[in-house]
Structure 1
Amino acid sequence: MQHLVGSAGFRHLELAVGPGVFVPRPETELLAGWAVTLITPGATVVDLCAGSGAIALAVANEVPGVRVYAVERSPAALPWLRRNAEARAAAGDTPIRVVEGDVTDPAVLADLDGTVDAVLCNPPYVPAGVAVPADVADHDPYDAVFAGADGLAVIRPVIARAAALLRPGGVFGVEHDDSHGTAVPALLRAHGSFTDIEDHQDLAGRPRYGTAARSRGVASEHRRER
C-alpha cells in the first residue's frame, strides 16, 4: 500500500517510499520514541542502516538542535533518504547529514569515534530462509530484511561500531528479530563495552529492540590513541 500511495507514516512524519527502500514499520517507532526521551538538545546522533531516514528524521523533528548523521549503503535506498532529508529540512526540521557507507566498516564516521551521544539502528535482521509476509517478500529489498543464517550478521559488527562511536555514557538502541530477545543482550554483554543492557517488547509483546549505555570511564581505542 505504501508503494502505491508513495509514502509511509512514521511518528509525526510522512516519508516518501518506493521501490528500493525498506518501508518503515510501527515497531520501529518504539525505538525512535525511546531515543527521543533520552536525547538532549544539541546532541550528536548516528542512525546506522538509515533506509528512508525514518529514525534520523524523527529525532531531528522532535529534539531541537541535534546533529544527526544518517548512514546508508544501498544505491537504491539513498535517493529516498536524500529526498526525505531535503523535504524535512525544507519543512523547518534540523537538517541531517546523509552519509553513503557500509555500517560494518570501521572507517565510516571514524572521525566521530568516542564523541557520539546516541547510536540507533534498524538493521536487516531476519534469519535467511525464514518465511516473511508477501508484502515484505515481494516489495522490501532482500538486503534490508535478511542478515545471514541467524539474522545477526549485521547486528554483530554494528555493536562493535556503536561501541567505538559512543562517548562514555552514550546510548545505543538496535531493533532485532523477535527470536533475538536473548541473543542481542548476550552479544552486548559479551562485547564488554556496555552497561544498562535491556531488551524491550513491541506492542504485540514480542522482543523487538535492545538498548544499552557505553560504559563510563572506558574510552574507545580511537580516543586513547589521541
Structure 2
Amino acid sequence: MNLVLDEVARATLRLAEAGVASPRTDAEELAAFVHGVRRGELHSVADGDFDARYWECVARRAAREPLQHITGRAFFRYLELRVGPGVFVPRPETEIMVSWAIDVLRAMDVADPLVVDLGTGSGAIAISIAQEVPRSRVHAVELDDKALAWAGRNIEESGHADRITAHHGDMRTSPAGLDGGVDLLITNPPYVPTDDAGRIPPEVRDHDPAPALWSGADGLDMIRELEAVGRRLLRPGGFMAIEHGDGQGIDIPRLFPEKLGWRDVLNHKDLAHRDRFVVARRAED
C-alpha cells in the first residue's frame, strides 16, 4: 500500500467515527481532489507527492462540512457543477426525476419544448434538461441571491446559456409571461418538515440554505401552493413533476384533484424503491 492509500484508510476510520454516512467514498474523493487525480488513480500518486493539506480537508469533513463545499464541486448526471455556501447541493435522488422529465420531453410532439425549473438552486435540473434535450428552452427560477449567483455561474459555463433564462423571483409567482404555454414544469421544492429538524444530518441542517429545506410542520406548505402555479403555467396536456420526501407520497396526489383539471397523477420511486416524486398532467381542452 502506498502512502496516499494508507492515509485514505486512516481518514476513513476518522470519518466513520465522526458519523459521516459514506466515509470511504468521502476519504477517497478528498484525496483525489487534493492531489488532482481521479479516485481510481490514487494508487498512482507517489509517496513524495503526498499533500498534507489532505488532513485539513478530512478535519473539515469530520466536522460535518459537506464534501461538496470542501471540493467546490458536485456531480449531477453528466454535469460537474460549482457549489458552495449559499446553494443547495444537488442530490443523486433528483436525477431520477430529471431522467423521467427528459424522456417525456423527447417523446413530446413539440419542436421546441418550453420548460420551467422552479427553485433551480445550482442550476442542476435546468442545465441537465438543456443539455440532454437540445431544442428545449428552459426558464430557471430562484429567489435566493446567493443561490442565483451559483446558478448563473454554472449556466454560463455549461455552454447552454443561450437556451436557459435565469429569473430572480419567487417560485409561486415567477416567471411572468408564460401562463398557459409551458410544456413541462419541474421542481425540487422545499419539503422538509420543521418537525424533523432534530433528525436531519448536520451537513443538510447547518449548511444547505434554510429556504430550500423547510416547508411547514408536514413539509407540504410550498407544494400546496405549487398546485395553483401548475394550473397557471402549464398548457393543456402539459406535465408537472415535483420531488418530495419520504412518507409524503401518499398525501401529495390528493393536492392535484381531477376536479381542478389534473390527470394521471402518479408517484414514482427512486433507486431505493422509495416514493420520490409525483407527476401530473393538465387536462386537454
Which one-letter code corresponds to 1:76 in the other structure?
A: K
Cross-structure match for 1:121: 187
> Percent same amino acid at aligned positions?
47
Q: TM-score, normalising length from structure 1?
A: 0.91
| Cα deviations by residue, 1:87-146 (Å, 9 ceiling, x for unpaired) | 112xx57531000000112xx223111111000000010100202112111211111111
Question: Cα offset for 1:178?
Answer: 1.1
Separation in 2, partners of 1:159, 1:198: 14
Cross-structure match for 1:23: 89
Cross-structure match for 2:164: 96
| Cα deviations by residue, 1:127-173 (Å, 9 ceiling, x for unpaired) | 00202112111211111111111101111111210121000011100
Are 2:87 and 2:121, in contact at CA under 8 Å, matched by a contact in 1?
A: yes
Work out which of the residue numbers 136, 150, 154 in structure 1 matches 2:204: 136
1:47 counterpart = 2:117: yes
Q: TM-score, normalising length from structure 2?
A: 0.72
Bigger CA radius of gyration: 2
| 3-state SS, counterpart of residue 198 of structure 1 | strand
Q: CA RMSD in A?
A: 1.4
Work out which of the residue numbers 73, 79, 104 in structure 1 matches 2:143: 73
The aligned length equals: 213
* Larger RCO (alpha carbons 8 Å, 6+ apart): 1
- Moved runs in structure 1, 4+ residues, more than 6 A? none
Taking structure 1 as reference, are residues 94 and 10 closer, same or farther at Cα in structure 2, changes over 3 Å only? farther
Work out which of the residue numbers 139, 163, 177 in structure 2 matches 1:111: 177
| 3-state SS, counterpart of residue 110 of structure 1 | coil
Are 1:110 and 1:165, in contact at CA under 8 Å, matched by a contact in 2?
A: no
1:34 counterpart = 2:100: yes
The structure carrying a bigger helix percent of its residues is 2
| 3-state SS, counterpart of residue 39 of structure 1 | helix
Cross-structure match for 2:256: 188
Which one-letter code corresponds to 1:172 in the other structure?
A: M
In the alignment, structure 2 segments of 5+ residues that lack a partner are 1-66
| 3-state SS, counterpart of residue 180 of structure 1 | coil
Are 2:155 and 2:161, in contact at CA under 8 Å, matched by a contact in 1?
A: no
